Amino acid sequence: MTTTPTDFAARAALLDAEDPLRDYPHRFVGSDDPSIVAYLDGNSLGRPTRKTAERVAAFVTDAWGGRLIRGWDEQWFDLPLTLGDRLGALLLGAAAGQTTIGDSTSVLLYKLARGALALRPGRTEIVLDRDNFPTDRYLMEAIAAESGLTLRWLDPEFTGGVTVDELAAAVSERTALVVLSHVAYRSGFLLDAPAIAAVTHDEGALLLLDVCHSVGATEIELDSWDIDFAAGCTYKYLNGGPGSPAFAYVNARHLPSFEQPIWGWMGRENPFEMAQGFVPAPGIRRVLSASPGILGMIPVQDTLDLIEEVGMPAIRAKSLLLTEFALELVERWLVPRGVTVSSPLDPARRGGHITIDHPAFQDVTARLWHRGVMPDFRRPHGIRIGMSPLTTSFREVLAGLTAIRDELGAH
């Protein structure tokens, strides 16, 4: 189909009119702010819901201010587990008792990796890729150094995308753990997770999946994919707010023997006994260490309410339409200006964001922010366009790509 530039405004208007989720952006704070022309960074920090703004205020005055310490007995003590179960059921394809919320993603990745390695004594290698998120790489470097293990690095042929064949060539009887991201943070490459898990398990190794950039944007089925461990954050597509607590998944078959290295009172059996010596709690509670961040869990609950209303299939369908529309604009307007696409063109291998590259993009990004157009910059010279299905309209995508075109034209 041949599309002229003047068709795109009409196309965006039609896509918004036909969008089953078209009313949801209005449920978020800032959606009516005229100074924000296009927010294209929802995959980095999601918008708060209007309901969250009300509930946080009510929590301070009523639950925290009114119930005080009684709140722990009434709800807070079990909230990491009850909210974990709900998140697992709605977004992770995880049966109850395998997901908990608390700590940061970094801390949970460390806990899961160390616990997984303890389940594979005698094995000497961790397999990971050089395009994974920096924290994932740094943590594995630290763990390898303190444990005397060897890192086996993958260099994906496609930036950020580890294929089944590439992994199969790297894992062996020496592999204890494979650490990969379900959606690559830069390119948006979507891993073939069930096939990756099968290749990992064929060699007797375990798989730790980082789902930070996929949860809430793509459909995930950790149980049926036979994933061993997973961790992810809640401040991107789940709109939990800056620094909101992360979540951890431990497959039920590993829980009886899983031991994580950061022993704290909240993860002990009968924690209020304050007894001498650490005995891990049964089940997923053993992943916890300290008192969890209850305040940061409130926004996540509000987003889960919205996701339960619409369902993940509808969210994924819109995510694919958003990225496809963005890629069409990039091909028509930006590729002729020297821009390259660093994300998969195959929708089956693409998450909820795309990355485009141009030598001028670091300066362009700063100018875009001044214009109220907010993607983010990823080195060496990439603009990452993140579209959150519950909050991003097709009109915003059009406005954002138009601004990038104009800035490049002026460069």
- Residues annotated as catalytic are 133, 210, 235-236, 384
H or E element: which one contains 110? helix 105-118
Q: What is the C-alpha R_g of the chain?
A: 22
Confirm if 94 and 88 have CB atoms less than 8 A apart: yes
Question: What is the total residue count of the chain?
Answer: 411
- Cα 306 to Cα 53, 212, 247, 345: the distances in Å are 15, 19, 19, 29
Residue appearing with tokens 């460390």: 110
Least Cα distance to 260 among 80, 102, 114, 95 occurs for 114
DSSP 173-227: TTEEEEEEESB-TTT-BBP-HHHHHHHHHHTT-EEEEE-TTTBTTB---HHHHT-
Q: Show the tokens assigned to 255.
A: 């829980």
Distance (Å, rounded) from C-alpha 411 to C-alpha 401?
15
- Sheet harboring 150-154: ordered strands across? 99-101, 247-250, 229-232, 206-210, 175-181, 125-129, 150-154
Q: Which residues on adjacent β-strands are paired with residue 357?
A: 340, 382
What kind and span of H or E run contains 99?
A: strand 99-101
The answer for residues whose C-beta is within 8 angstroms of residue 323's C-beta and 6 or more apart is 188, 343, 347, 350, 352, 353, 354, 387
